[in-house]
Amino acid sequence: MSMILNNAAVHCQMAQPYERSPARVWVVIAAYNEATVIGRIINEVKRRGYTVAVVDDGSSDHTAEASAAAHVVVRHPINLGQGAALQTGIDFALERGADVIVTFDADGQHRTGDIEKLIRAIRSGDVDFALGSRFLGCSEGMPVSRRVLLKAATLFTQLTTGLRISDTHNGLRAMTPRGARVVRLRQNRMAHASEMLSQIAASSLGYIEVPVTIEYSAYSLAKGQTVGDALMILLDLFARRLYR
C-alpha cells in the first residue's frame, strides 16, 4: 500500500504533541565535521524529549566532543559516508528498542518541529515510512540550481522505483522498526537516499510524504550536493547493479 499526503495547505503548521513516550523515538544524526553546529541541533532535538543518537563518521574536527549532549555517540573509526553512518545509527536504535527511528541532517536545515509531523503521519497513516518533502512544504532560500537538480533527481527516482514521491533527497524521514529492518544501506555515500527509496519500493511497505520545512543557509548549501555529486550518485547506483 502506498499513500501520498498531497495537501500543501497543511505545510508549516504547528505539530500536535505525540501521545506516546517521545524517549522511544530515536533521532539518528549522521555527522561529519559538524562541530560548529551539532551541539545546537542536539539540544533542540533533546528539548522535545526524543532520544538523540549521533553517529560521528570519523570526523577530523571536534564533532564527537561537541556531541557530548547526545544520549549516545557512536564513532566510526574511519570516515565512511553519510549512508554508512545512518545505517549504523539505525542498527543501534533498533537494538535499543526504538519505537520510531527518525533520520535528521546535522547541518541545521531541518526543523525539529517537523519530527512530530512525521511521527503522527506514521501513526495515523498506518504506514512504515514517513518521508519529508520540501516541495509539499516550505523551502527557504533554495537556489534555483538546487531546485532543478532535486526535481531531476525526483523524476529519476520516480522512473526507477515507481514511487510517487515529490522529494527524493530529503534527509528528514521517520520509520517504524519494521520499516527500519528492510533498510539495508550499502551505498555509503550520498546515493543512499535513492537506495533507501528503492528498498522501500521493493519492500511494498506503506509510505507517506509529509510536508516539511527546509531552511537553507550558507553552511548547509556548502555541505549540499552539486551537479558533480549528482553524477557520482548516478554512477554509484549503476556500479552497484554490476556486482553482488
Partner 1 sequence: MIAQTVISMLLIGVVAYAASERRRSPVVAWLSIIAAAAGLYFTWTPDHATQVAMWAGVGRGVDLILYIWVCISLIVLLNLHLKLRSQMELVTVMARTIALAEARRRLSENAMPPQGPPQRVSSGRRALGRTGNPMLRAGKERL
Q: Which residues make up the interface to partner 1 (CB under 8 A)? A: 23, 51, 55, 64-65, 67-78, 80, 84, 87-88, 91-92, 95-96, 186, 188, 239-244
Burial class (CB in 10 A: 0-12, 13-18, 19+), 33: middle
Name which of 73 and 172 has its Cβ closer to partner 1: 73
Name which of 85 and 149 has its Cβ closer to partner 1: 85
Residue 73: CB minimum distance to partner 1, A: 5
Name which of 69 and 201 has its Cβ closer to partner 1: 69
Residue 150: CB minimum distance to partner 1, A: 26
Residue 169: CB minimum distance to partner 1, A: 21
Q: Which three cell numbers stand for residue 175?
A: 520509520
Contact 6, 29 (CB under 8 A): no
Contact 29, 50 (CB under 8 A): no
Instruction: HSE, CB side, 13 Å, CA atoms: give it for residue 61.
Output: 11
Name which of 77 and 218 has its Cβ closer to partner 1: 77
Residue 156: CB minimum distance to partner 1, A: 21
Residue 208: CB minimum distance to partner 1, A: 28
Q: Checking phi first, is residue 12 left (phi over 0); if not, alpha (psi -120 to 50) or beta?
A: left
Q: Please state at what angle helix 227-240 crosses helix 192-203, rounded to 10 degrees.
A: 50
Name which of 80 and 121 has its Cβ closer to partner 1: 80
